[in-house]
Structure 1
């Protein structure tokens, strides 16, 4: 058995290397694409990926298509009901950023890890179906499948192919929209109109009636549906993983003949797969009347059991299968979902929306108010995840089975003045993590405390970092605290930093040749040049002292490692130690480097190896020789009065500090503290709730490193808050220490034109205001979305009040908030450019035309958005002291 396993893995290494290095640059066969570690799961996990349970709990083969039987769905003759998430980003992602998850997002292909982790997370939540917009909607962007009319970008198929293959491996089904009603980054129906020079007036009605637009859309559909997946070797139309093709996401204004013509065309290409369709709200008569449409898809923001039941009845009476294709996750409760699951007319329901772990640490961030991370960032989200998971099990009729993704990965350990900071990549299906440490001659010991850490606790400071060399590992645990996966151990010492690059992206590298390509290999990737090409992979880091490059190779690799004093010039080779690192893997190690600030891996023409990972050790840039230096509180100023109740605390940097500790109390002896927190990385702290009104607060800040601690000058320092005012303070912009912090709290609506939020001098009171700078263009709107740190109760208030300084005469500002899950908005027009206080009563607010109407329930307000306008071109508007006022 062991010998056969070794031969199997080695054969897969050969296949991957052949695909990377020796084969022509064309889509490879399924056999060519099999990779080391593809069968990494245990036998029961493999079975779970190859089988799925029907409503009666009996297995049904994954290869069976989902079939419509009247108004119900079946698989292999058994009833099929489902629940799951929307993961719109699987083919093209707007949330790709830098190493730090707080870096500004850009549009790019999601990494293989993100795709794998996101789908595995869905499986861990009991999901059986995932709705994936950008697996099908991909037009108009340079990275889209069709960037311009008739021009197809085959590179865009790779992430789509991998998503379909991974969904199939996990036993998940996909619903794939083919275009979009909205003008988002991934494209939609307006692209076809613009390409053909057709008018977009009347909500783009010509998309449905113009023969050229209809023909262009069909050509796009044909190109997508007839594609052969490079990872499975199966044509999309022959793959049961794709349960249904949806004509489009929330297509408003569809004409009956367009629906039937388009649905019939899809059926002609994909006769064994289902066709879904639906508009933004309710059920669409054109969908119900179309013989070739199988599924009527309705969306809910917020969802109610009554509306879902009414739409399900309307759809099934018309002979269609009914699916709630989107519903806001914030309203996912057992009370709602139990009613949905008990309704046999509902075949499936999919929440909006699920996001995976970040490639380096934490989660992929997204600020639309409906983001779900597993197992949950907050107590409220954890309750939502639990309800969604129970709902999925009830819909499928199968008990929840444990599912765990890639094992955790320690991506960095930084030594800062004798204190280590750890970053790790999380694991799909894990409930938490333990940080374990061992010293020379000692066993593993948990140093992160009795309670498991969450993915949001990284970066994590080891406040008890010992003075000598240590080794760390991360243990992923389930809800009962049992270990489910453990990271590889990483050794370090007080004078060294460690970096591990899994090569899913290029953010850790200083540069690479364009010839390099990635191919997924089990729980990682392999990187090598295109066939016949040379290549290089470069790293630039100060004072590199050691490196280990892990490669896949058939036989001892002929890899060239070079180092440089400046990381850009003067490269010269070093001879690595080569040691086996698993079947078909080798570790190339160099150590005792001096005066090295750059390292690169070089492929000569004909080289037969691929890089799997790079680990670097560098001299720590901050080594302590004594306790931190002196420092002082900078804001609020010591002794200040009339301070904002939302004021952030900032202080000057104490030289030689590894971390800060903060205590805030109403008492001079700092007893009964309002805040007591340690392990702060930055010289600032933003409160999560307002300070008490008209109260003198006492502050002690302590700077600590491996040698000792230093208290803030004058400790404890005091300041006095302003008296309370009637109403609720939403934001006075005094809490943000930087433009980056403000921009993170007020991200742009990615579907609109460019807009940025920056700090400006106070408009009212002290501290800061917010300046919005925007450029209105083709999308016709620009705005920022602020998700409140905690839901606010505005009951008893009259309306919204704010200080405004318009940038131009006649400027407009649309105010939009979400209360109890329903959207409300109002637009004010501002005469002149003089600053003024504006009050907008709640009676002036109404649901926007695209939103679901509902009652104005101000007991739970979760989001405030601001949309300036008033004409094409650039503009600015300054705002301060936003609150709900009492008249």
Structure 2
């Protein structure tokens, strides 16, 4: 990438496109300040004075996120958020968006694992012993450069205790043919393992950042190097030797170390360690205070390097902020907007998006932002990222559907439409829509030429940025490729590389090489290609003739649209199935910055076809109060509306929703018990509407369950739905949740199938759709059918932020109902032993059917908190 950076830096110098140019290197800085973002470059080192940190002679206390994914990410999918995630380098947009989001939350420090931990896979910095992959530095360098621009500091772990996708200490043992027994204890005692680790550390710390020209070990942006993430087995000798090694390489930066929980005596004993790092799941103010006092009494700086974001509350964080022994606390973990629409998703139960997907998450975000203010003494900055970018306006059975890439720091969005070039009208309603609402259906679409734009709003409802408008006709759709990834392209040359700028990315081939970028678009009608270059670009543009594989070169004027910016427009295309942009090997002094196109799509000629509600069955009785609604698909339907009421005319509805794209709906609160309900479902498209056969249908719910019904497993459509609701604990052995025959009453049970593995336990974690109030109940009741005699079942729940568990042994395989008194539950060994049981807010239930490495199944049904 260095050749491309230098080439484009030379080409664009003076053009105004790339903000700032390191002239001595010919390397462009990654980006100018994002809209609304102050220039707050981190140019001075954070220092340690005794048990506290200082910056410019003033106390430095901090809040921030863990963003482990910025160098190498396990969550890279396609443009469809439901696509199975894969391991790959994150896009420059994701990195920038995540860091700007952290800044918008008042963060001043980010813990970034894969800026430092990158071993053992083909994409890693060190794929195999002694072999280094310079391509891996691109995202690592960009993270450091963007953090520098935003005034953020980084804590960078150097290896990991576990066998995660990004690598860790076991890689060194495997490479050297050393035993991994005793939890890899040889990593801390074998001299060859220590030498291999230090070789990796030296390579990383002495690397020169391609965007800043500064060596890592000389960059104040990197506040501290952490010897590793949660290294539970460190010896005093290993800590001292490696902390001293890092200090020699990076004398102006700090050294941190810590283990999974508690305080490591080896860390406190080392004269070369500055910061002791402890982790909390869940966090508890008393435990944090005790650990902080122990660390500072030993003369070290104390850091809560991880705490689970679902536990973030004003009550907890006010106490932590008031403890002057605490220098900082970092939540787990922050994820950014995805490259095309929505957010990057992760399933560990601790994912946080800004400003919050749910009411509970919004409260967490607010508590963390206030915590940051208390620690730093500065107000939360008004910071926003890139303007919203409309990435597609698709035709869904004749109805316009708008997708956009979100804006870091925005609190919501307003979608506006202009019909036949008239004035702009807000069509998304009075309540701001969110990134979780994309793709957004315009339920009042009109079959004429319409333009759309998206406005990002702050918490006061004021507009902070507006997208470029995009236009479609009655039979057209539009797509925009921001070039963050290759998912929209049909083919591209391996020579093409990206350089990040303030306006997105520059895509061009390496110096002296040709390149092509192709799109397969049947029915292509127009295209707009944006370029960057100091001189007028001369691309080779070709179109693919429909129904053939023949390409024909076309000629169109490239016009200037600003300093260093150029645009080529193709209109009135017919009989075209593809677009290709080519760079000749010589004289290719330009880059592509965006590609947008329109194409013709089919639209319906009649209203949606007939369909019927399938569950609950019309007239069914004894229906679960947690039951979802399902219906068959109506042909050519764009979306559905649903109304549920206790009245036959559907007046005074309990539920009234529109824009439903799925053929299922699950209420956020239970249906009233022992009640007849009336449900009407209507299918819509661009031509008309069709009501479900027999609409409204009726069903009658079961009598109320004594106490609080937690789950009866009768509301899940299939195995995939229950597996999504009960994901496996990522640190345990293999386990799968599926639906089985009813255990009690009617419907289904939950079947857990698990296998043996090295961790010795398997379990699923269920986050309740809404917090439940179990106060006034005395125990947890459930139907169980063991898979074998003597099977153990560990039941765990989170109440008011504290963990509680009880393990029961099932003597034989007879199906039975068991009740576990709440008085029998106790905090797990790793949790706060002094926690008080408060059942007023229960948020999570976990089931662990194995603690001995066995393989089998267990069936569970009708879980309730019972009087």
TM-score by length of 2: 0.91
Show the counterpart of 2:589: 608
CA distance in 1, matches of 2:598, 2:857: 48
Equivalent position to 1:38, from 31, 34, 56? 31
Any residues of structure 2 matched to 1:584-663 within 5 Å, and which?
A: 584-606=564-586, 607-621=588-602, 623-663=603-643
Is the CA contact 1:12–1:34 (under 8 Å) kept in the aligned structure 2?
A: no
CA distance in 1, matches of 2:547, 2:237: 63
Q: What whole-Å deviation, never above 9, does each CA across 1:684-720 have from its counterpart, x for those lacking one?
A: 1112122222222111111122333222111211112
Show the counterpart of 2:90: 110
CA distance in 2, matches of 1:580, 1:173: 39
CA distance in 2, matches of 1:598, 1:756: 43
CA distance in 2, matches of 1:468, 1:84: 48
Show the counterpart of 1:25: none
DSSP-derived class of the 2:542 partner = strand
* Deviation for aligned residue 1:490: 0.7
- Are 2:111 and 1:131 aligned? yes
CA distance in 2, matches of 1:344, 1:870: 40
* Deviation for aligned residue 1:519: 1.8
Show the counterpart of 1:53: none
Show the counterpart of 2:258: 278
* Deviation for aligned residue 1:567: 8.6
* Deviation for aligned residue 1:104: 2.4
Show the counterpart of 1:249: 229
CA distance in 1, matches of 2:513, 2:97: 32
* Deviation for aligned residue 1:848: 4.3
* Deviation for aligned residue 1:189: 2.2
Show the counterpart of 1:11: 13
Show the counterpart of 2:4: none
CA distance in 1, matches of 2:683, 2:426: 25
* 1:876/1:519 CA distance change after superposition, 3 Å: farther
Is the CA contact 2:145–2:211 (under 8 Å) kept in the aligned structure 1?
A: yes
Any residues of structure 2 matched to 1:390-539 within 5 Å, and which?
A: 390-539=370-519
- Are 2:171 and 1:171 aligned? no
* Deviation for aligned residue 1:115: 0.6
Is the CA contact 1:423–1:459 (under 8 Å) kept in the aligned structure 2?
A: yes
* 1:457/1:519 CA distance change after superposition, 3 Å: same
Please say which of residues 174-183 and 482-491 is displaced more in the overlay.
174-183
Show the counterpart of 2:700: 720
* 1:93/1:839 CA distance change after superposition, 3 Å: farther
Show the counterpart of 2:76: 96
Equivalent position to 1:315, from 269, 290, 295? 295
* Deviation for aligned residue 1:549: 2.2
Structure 1 stretches lacking a partner, 5+ long: 1-6, 20-27, 51-61
DSSP-derived class of the 2:484 partner = coil
* Deviation for aligned residue 1:40: 5.0
Please say which of residues 533-542 and 517-526 is displaced more in the overlay.
533-542
DSSP-derived class of the 1:224 partner = helix
Any residues of structure 2 matched to 1:770-849 within 5 Å, and which?
A: 770=750, 783-795=763-775, 796-799=777-780, 801-804=782-785, 806=787, 814-825=794-805, 847-849=827-829
* Deviation for aligned residue 1:797: 4.3
Is the CA contact 2:34–2:386 (under 8 Å) kept in the aligned structure 1?
A: no
Q: What whole-Å deviation, never above 9, does each CA across 1:415-470 have from its counterpart, x for those lacking one?
A: 22332111111111111111112123422222212222222222211122223111
Equivalent position to 1:347, from 304, 308, 327? 327
Any residues of structure 2 matched to 1:745-764 within 5 Å, and which?
A: 745-752=725-732, 756-759=736-739
CA distance in 1, matches of 2:744, 2:230: 42
Is the CA contact 2:17–2:564 (under 8 Å) kept in the aligned structure 1?
A: no
Is the CA contact 1:627–1:705 (under 8 Å) kept in the aligned structure 2?
A: yes
Show the counterpart of 2:5: none
Is the CA contact 2:760–2:852 (under 8 Å) kept in the aligned structure 1?
A: no
CA distance in 2, matches of 1:559, 1:757: 54
Is the CA contact 1:643–1:719 (under 8 Å) kept in the aligned structure 2?
A: yes
DSSP-derived class of the 1:147 partner = coil
Equivalent position to 1:680, from 644, 660, 665? 660
RMSD (Å) for aligned C-alpha atoms:
3.1
* Deviation for aligned residue 1:768: 4.5
* 1:857/1:394 CA distance change after superposition, 3 Å: closer
Is the CA contact 1:435–1:472 (under 8 Å) kept in the aligned structure 2?
A: yes
DSSP-derived class of the 2:861 partner = strand
Q: What whole-Å deviation, never above 9, does each CA across 1:320-360 have from its counterpart, x for those lacking one?
A: 11222122222323333233223322222222221111111
* Deviation for aligned residue 1:812: 6.2
Is the CA contact 1:30–1:232 (under 8 Å) kept in the aligned structure 2?
A: no
* Deviation for aligned residue 1:754: 5.5
* Deviation for aligned residue 1:269: 0.7
* 1:811/1:552 CA distance change after superposition, 3 Å: farther
- Are 2:406 and 1:388 aligned? no
Any residues of structure 2 matched to 1:207-222 within 5 Å, and which?
A: 207-222=187-202
* Deviation for aligned residue 1:732: 3.4
* Deviation for aligned residue 1:598: 3.1
Please say which of residues 80-89 and 258-267 is displaced more in the overlay.
80-89
- Are 2:209 and 1:229 aligned? yes
CA distance in 2, matches of 1:831, 1:578: 79
DSSP-derived class of the 2:597 partner = strand
Please say which of residues 164-173 and 609-618 is displaced more in the overlay.
609-618
* 1:388/1:816 CA distance change after superposition, 3 Å: same
DSSP-derived class of the 1:663 partner = strand
* Deviation for aligned residue 1:303: 2.3
CA distance in 1, matches of 2:307, 2:845: 20
CA distance in 1, matches of 2:249, 2:807: 47
DSSP-derived class of the 1:429 partner = coil
Q: What whole-Å deviation, never above 9, does each CA across 1:96-140 have from its counterpart, x for those lacking one?
A: 222122322222221111110111011111111111122112223
* 1:387/1:514 CA distance change after superposition, 3 Å: same
Any residues of structure 2 matched to 1:702-713 within 5 Å, and which?
A: 702-713=682-693
CA distance in 1, matches of 2:763, 2:74: 17
* Deviation for aligned residue 1:266: 0.7
CA distance in 1, matches of 2:23, 2:133: 20
What count of residue pairs does the alignment treat as equivalent? 855
Is the CA contact 1:29–1:231 (under 8 Å) kept in the aligned structure 2?
A: no
TM-score by length of 1: 0.89
Any residues of structure 2 matched to 1:124-163 within 5 Å, and which?
A: 124-163=104-143
Show the counterpart of 2:841: 860
Any residues of structure 2 matched to 1:325-344 within 5 Å, and which?
A: 325-344=305-324
* Deviation for aligned residue 1:751: 4.3
DSSP-derived class of the 1:597 partner = strand
DSSP-derived class of the 1:326 partner = strand
CA distance in 1, matches of 2:341, 2:621: 40
Equivalent position to 1:359, from 302, 325, 339? 339
* Deviation for aligned residue 1:542: 3.8
CA distance in 1, matches of 2:80, 2:795: 31
Please say which of residues 67-76 and 502-511 is displaced more in the overlay.
502-511
Is the CA contact 2:206–2:216 (under 8 Å) kept in the aligned structure 1?
A: yes
* Deviation for aligned residue 1:847: 4.3
CA distance in 1, matches of 2:547, 2:27: 34
CA distance in 2, matches of 1:15, 1:437: 30
* Deviation for aligned residue 1:89: 1.5
* 1:492/1:862 CA distance change after superposition, 3 Å: same
* 1:572/1:232 CA distance change after superposition, 3 Å: same
* Deviation for aligned residue 1:802: 4.2
Show the counterpart of 1:58: none
CA distance in 2, matches of 1:836, 1:510: 57
* Deviation for aligned residue 1:167: 0.3
Is the CA contact 1:810–1:870 (under 8 Å) kept in the aligned structure 2?
A: no
Any residues of structure 2 matched to 1:565-576 within 5 Å, and which?
A: 569-576=549-556
